[in-house]
């Protein structure tokens, strides 16, 4: 199908790390987010990348600015743990119009299949205006793990990733119609919400 048949989408990607933002180590969060989203979505994507330190006011202001710039989806990575400087959930809740607790619950379930410390991530998801904001853990490998879930060696889904619910959530808040590549992530919508393929 021609790319023009898919709605364009603007996505904010935010890496929150004191050390990556000050150059102590190379940021691997933004490349991992961009790579996974490009692989998963059929829609043409405009990315709005931000690399910022673990400062609550800066995080909240960045999220509000990305929503105001028209991002339908904003994914953050980092700062969800219990350390003193980990304030991403607080900064996200401070700009919430609605909490979406199912995303955090599901991410911790998925992550427990990879690491016993999954319960240390306090990640949240919220809706602000017509944007869905989701916190992911800071370990770069956790990005694909939580978005995609767990598959067996044959590619059969064992635990669904959270991204399966993202397209329908964005429909419900009035955003673009997101279409995924099923081999990466099979999005779920109720039958009456599935749009018939448009000709290019
Ligand atoms: N943006 C990033 N780029 C590369 N590696 C990262 C990044 N963020 C986190 N990591 C890795 O994942 C680990 C856990 O992430 P966490 O968010 O807890 O970092 P941290 O220990 O709070 O430090 P910092 O905020 O300075 O990255 C880090 O110690 C680091 O090895
Ligand atoms: N999928 C996945 N989830 C994960 C991890 C991981 O390696 N993979 N690390 C855990 C650990 S060790 C911590 S402390 C928390 C919080 O991480 P953050 O502060 O980097 O956001 O995420 C948890 N969730």
Q: Check which CATH number belongs to the domain holding 32 and give it.
A: 3.40.980.10
Whether 92 lines ligand 2, by a CB cut-off of 6 Å, is no
Residue 190 makes CB contacts below 8 A (sequence gap 6+) with 168
| Range of the structural domain that residue 27 is part of | 3-193
User: Domain tally for the chain?
Assistant: 1
The verdict on residue 109 lying in a domain is: yes
The verdict on residue 200 lying in a domain is: no
The verdict on residue 198 lying in a domain is: no
The verdict on residue 132 lying in a domain is: yes
The verdict on residue 199 lying in a domain is: no
The residue whose two tokens read 């909490």 is: 99
Atom of ligand 1 nearest to the CA of 15: 1
Crossing angle between the packed helical segments 29-40 and 140-148, to the nearest 10 degrees: 30
Q: Parallel, antiparallel, or unpaired: how do β-strands 149-151 and 131-136 relate?
A: unpaired
Task: Output the tens digit of pLDDT for each of the chain's 200 residues.
Answer: 554 589 999 999 999 999 999 999 999 999 999 999 999 999 999 999 999 999 999 999 999 999 999 999 999 999 999 999 999 999 999 999 999 999 999 999 999 999 999 999 999 999 999 999 999 999 999 999 999 999 999 888 899 999 999 999 999 999 999 999 999 999 999 989 998 766 55
Atom of ligand 1 nearest to the CA of 81: 18
Ligand 1 centroid to 82 CA: how many Å?
A: 13
The verdict on residue 122 lying in a domain is: yes
The interface pTM score, or ipTM, of the predicted complex is 0.94
| Atom 8 of ligand 1, nearest CA residue | 138
The verdict on residue 53 lying in a domain is: yes
Chain centre distance of CA 29: 12
Cα gap 24→21, rounded to integer Å:
8
Q: Which parts of the chain fold into alpha helices (H)?
A: 18-21, 29-40, 56-68, 88-93, 101-112, 140-148, 166-172
């Amino acid at each position: 199908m021609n790319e023009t048949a898919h709605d364009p989408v603007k996505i904010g990607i935010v890496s929150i790390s004191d050390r990556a933002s000050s150059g102590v180590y190379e940021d691997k969060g933004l490349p991992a987010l961009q790579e996974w989203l490009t692989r998963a979505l059929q829609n043409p994507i405009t990315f709005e990348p931000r690399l910022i330190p673990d400062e609550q006011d800066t995080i909240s202001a960045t999220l509000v600015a990305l929503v105001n710039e028209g991002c339908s989806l904003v994914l953050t990575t980092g700062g969800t743990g219990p350390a003193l400087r980990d304030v991403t959930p607080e900064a996200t809740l401070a700009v919430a119009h609605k909490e979406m607790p199912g995303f955090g619950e599901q991410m911790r379930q998925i992550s427990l299949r990879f690491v016993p410390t999954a319960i240390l991530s306090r990640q949240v998801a919220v809706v602000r205006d017509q944007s869905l904001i989701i916190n992911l853990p800071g370990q770069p490998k956790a990005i694909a793990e939580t978005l995609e879930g767990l598959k067996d060696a044959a590619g059969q889904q064992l635990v669904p990733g959270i991204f399966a619910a993202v397209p329908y959530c964005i429909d419900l808040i009035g955003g673009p119609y997101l279409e995924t590549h099923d081999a990466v992530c099979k999005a779920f919508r109720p039958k009456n919400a599935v749009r018939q393929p448009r000709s290019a």
